[in-house]
Structure 1
Amino acid sequence: MRRVNHEAPRPGWAETNRSLGLVFNDTVAEDGSAVSYWREGPFYDFDLDEILLLEQSAATLHRMCVAAGDHIVERCPRTDPQVRREAYLTSVCTPATCLLSRTGVPEYVHEQVIRTWYDNSPQTWAHGDKDLFGTHAHTRQSPDFSPSVYGRFDIWYGGRGTTPKLLEYNAQTPTSLLEAAVVQWRWLEDTGHTHHFDRQWTSMHERLIEAWRRNLGELVAARPWLPQRPTVYFAYDGTEASGEDAMNAGYLAETARQAGYPVELIEVAQIGVDMADGRIVYEPSKGAPATPIDVIFLLYPWEWLWHEEGGRPIFANMADPTKRGTVWIEPPWTAALWSNKALLPVLWELHRDDPAHRDLLLPAYFADQRPADLTSYARKPIWSREGANVELVRDGAVLAATGGDYGDTGMIVQGLAELPTFDGPGGPYHPVLGVWMIDGEPAGMGIREGTGTAGLITRNTASFVPHTIASHR
């Protein structure tokens, strides 16, 4: 792993990137200065064996996260069908008895987190002829299916001789997909680094198309009343002004379209509820006819939605005992189990004594359980975004910190792994590797880098830098 600083910028690169959808290139740094999100010129180069190590590590981390998901849901009292039936109208989950409650997931959400987590495993329904999680006991005809398509591991990696370390898992609404899957590949072609064969770890586009085909095919098999080619709605936050959310959702919609499915790109504000039957509907404009939504991809955080007024009708519809409620991609378990920092202490608890897996992790604890001898650590909110409210502590002294509005649902601490440092004009630079998981398998990488001491915490102002494999010595 090396940072190459002297690649000549491409003529008209900004216009080229914009034509590919990178309309959100101009950002503002912490000091108020204008900066380019895409860093044209430098790039990172890896040896092939380093890429193979990152790929193998990500595959192992995914299996570890599956085990952690089982661990979390098994520690929710509502997993027990008897408890669930007896306590239907009462509260049985507390932070002391339920890991979901400890992480701030509202109790009314728990059953559908658990159901959608177990949906894809037929053996989990072997509980007689009664449904485990429906609103009322009924005969279950077959297992349901709640597909998950993509996610992104944020990885610390210091180059040859080091072991990749998990920093966190963005499992529900990761962005930077467009630039990792499309824009950096165009950069590779334009700069001549392909040398007649692939020289970049970027197979996300093809893998996404195949993931839509497989997952939507299985969904139709599980719900035979759906059309063979159901329309997939792609919803994004229309109040996000830069266009980043719209372009990422639009790109994902395009991969589903290329997989053979009709798509519709909409704003979250256009999702409504038919008060007559509780169906989730698309409302294109005020007064216009509403269309029922069977399948929807949501680029909007579940942890926001389940605290908003519109959350309860969605989860009531999701609990439809006939299984004819709207299917949400990504399902709510991706946020409740994986896309929050509480996953990190759970992983450490499960694997701290396992030499085959612990090297991929940093020691992690809920903040109120931090060992006294852990004096160098990152303190992070359980729920946060874009590096907000993070504090890096080295030997008891604060090294770097960010502000923000997160942290009211609790904090975790994670052993400090300062991002590697690479010199260059305007540096030093500190990269984080984003390893993309498509349909549960590693599929490529994008790199974000910050600058200077403040860049040790990766913020939304961190630049995207392309990469190559074995193109430079």
Structure 2
Amino acid sequence: VRHAEVPRSDWRERVKACGLSFAELPGVCWARSFYSEYLLSDVWLRRLGLDEPYWNERASYKLSDEGAWRIERACFELHSMLLEAVDEVVRSDILLDEFGVPRELWPQVRSSWERRDTDFIGRFDLLWDGEGEPKFAEYNADTPTVLVEAAEAQRQWCQEVHTDKGQFNVLPEALAAGWRSIAFELLARSLLEATPTSSSEGRGAQPTSLTLAIAAQGVRHQAMVAANGELPVRSWYEQRA
């Protein structure tokens, strides 16, 4: 159920304090580096009525326990189905080529899959009107997107605006538990996090991810930032192989 809300007078400062640095960018191109300035300039965004900020506090959505359970169940089922699809891709040279996986990484990708290396996080984009089953639109696995929004800024908003209510997601707790599982499984206390400087989203999510890792089990970390927006992926995978 959609509810109208009154935005906090200081919402810009509040969400930026959470690390959400791209809150005021137009929602259609919050990751400005992904788009050409000429194709989506501010002038054209205003003309098209697409200059709404990415962060919007004018509405909230109330979910029933049954609705939240339906979304959660759909995510588990979809994740299992996608793992079956990944297995098909990993076993096929043709499909690995089709998906653009660099050939020099094939041995590492296959070894990781055969070892069943621990996954960490995934984000589903679902289409759902509250009736029937949610429809699958997109899956981003092991990517940092939406961590700042859902684990930090969204929770802050809920605690300040609706003190008697809560979120149905437990993302911060789940992330901390995930880090504990990974640290225990690998018997490791070190973490290397790499992010390109060209992505404000990646830079914003990194502190959230690292803070939860440290809180989970005293995991030491080192952040790698590439000045030109490119990361030494090949050398990193070779060291891990």
TM-score, normalised to structure 1's length?
A: 0.44
Which residue of structure 1 aligns with residue 192 of structure 2?
A: 233
Q: Is the 8 A contact 1:10 1:190 kept in 2?
A: no
Contact 1:101 1:107 in 2 (8 A): yes
Please name the residue that 2:107 is paired with.
111
CA distance in 2, matches of 1:266, 1:313: 13
Shift of 1:239: 2.7
- Corresponding position of 2:168: 201
Partner of residue 130, structure 2: 159
Q: Report the equivalent of 1:170.
A: 140
1:364-403 equivalence runs, <5 A? none
Aligned pair 1:70/2:87, yes or no? Answer: yes
Structure 1's unaligned 5+ residue stretches are 77-92, 121-145, 221-227, 271-299, 320-473
- Matched residue, 1:48: 65
Give the aligned residue type for 2:111.
R
* Secondary structure of 2:174's aligned partner: helix
Measure, in 2, the Cα distance between the counterparts of 1:190 and 1:316: 47
- Deviation for aligned residue 1:55: 0.5
Report SS of the residue matched to 1:245: helix
Counterparts of 1:315 and 1:214, CA distance in 2 = 22
Aligned twin of 1:419: none
Cα deviation code 1:143-167 (max 9, x no counterpart): xxx332111011111212x211111
Q: Distance in 2 between matches of 1:235 and 1:104?
A: 21
- Write out per-residue CA displacement over residues 291-341 of structure 1, whole angstroms, 9 at most, x where no aligned residue: xxxxxxxxx9xxx86xxxx4443343333xxxxxxxxxxxxxxxxxxxxxx
Distance 2:238 2:12 in 1: 46
Q: Which runs of 5+ in 2 are unaligned?
A: 29-39
Q: Which amino acid aligns with 2:173?
A: E
Q: Distance in 2 between matches of 1:268 and 1:246?
A: 11
8 Å contact from structure 2 (residues 127, 135) kept in 1 = yes
Q: In structure 2, what residue type is equivalent to 1:237?
A: P
Q: Which structure has the larger Rg over C-alpha atoms?
A: 1
The alpha-carbon distance between structure 1 residues 50 and 32, as it changes in their structure 2 partners (threshold 3 A), is same
Question: What aligned pairs does 1:261-300 form with structure 2 within 5 A after superposition?
Answer: 261-269=219-227
Report if the CA contact (8 A) 2:144-2:202 is conserved.
no
Runs of 4+ in structure 1 deviating by more than 4 angstroms, as ranges, are none
Query: For residues 261 and 102 of structure 1, what CA distance do their matches in structure 2 show?
Result: 37
Q: Distance in 2 between matches of 1:105 and 1:264?
A: 26
* Gap change, CA 1:238 and 1:318, over 3 Å in 2: same
Percent sequence identity over aligned pairs: 30
Residues 200/312 of structure 1: CA separation in 2 closer, same or farther (3 Å cut): closer
Specify the SS of the correspondent of 1:11: coil
C-alpha displacement at 1:205, in angstroms? Answer: 0.4
Residue 11 of structure 1 deviates from its aligned partner by 2.9
Aligned residues: 221
Matches within 5 A, 1:19-168: 19-28=17-26, 30=40, 31-33=44-46, 34-74=51-91, 76=92, 93=93, 98-120=94-116, 146-160=117-131, 162-168=132-138
Q: For the Cα contact (< 8 Å) 1:147–1:219, is it kept in 2?
A: no
RMSD over aligned CA atoms reads 2.3
The answer to whether the 8 A contact 1:21-1:247 is kept is yes
Q: Which residue of 2 aligns with 1:210?
A: 177
Task: Rate the CA distance shift 1:211–1:317 in 2: closer, same or farther, 3 A.
Answer: same
Paired letter, 2:197: G
Aligned residue identity for 2:104: Y
Paired with 2:13 and 2:238, the residues of 1 have a C-alpha distance of 46
- Greater RCO structure (CA 8 Å; 6+ sep): 1
| DSSP-derived class of the 2:45 partner | coil
Q: In structure 2, what is the Cα distance between the partners aligned to 1:101 and 1:23?
A: 36
Task: Check 1:267–1:44 CA distance in 2 against 1; reply closer, same or farther (3 A cut).
Answer: same
Q: 1:315 to 1:262 in 2, by over 3 A?
A: closer
Q: What amino acid maps onto 1:3 in structure 2?
A: R
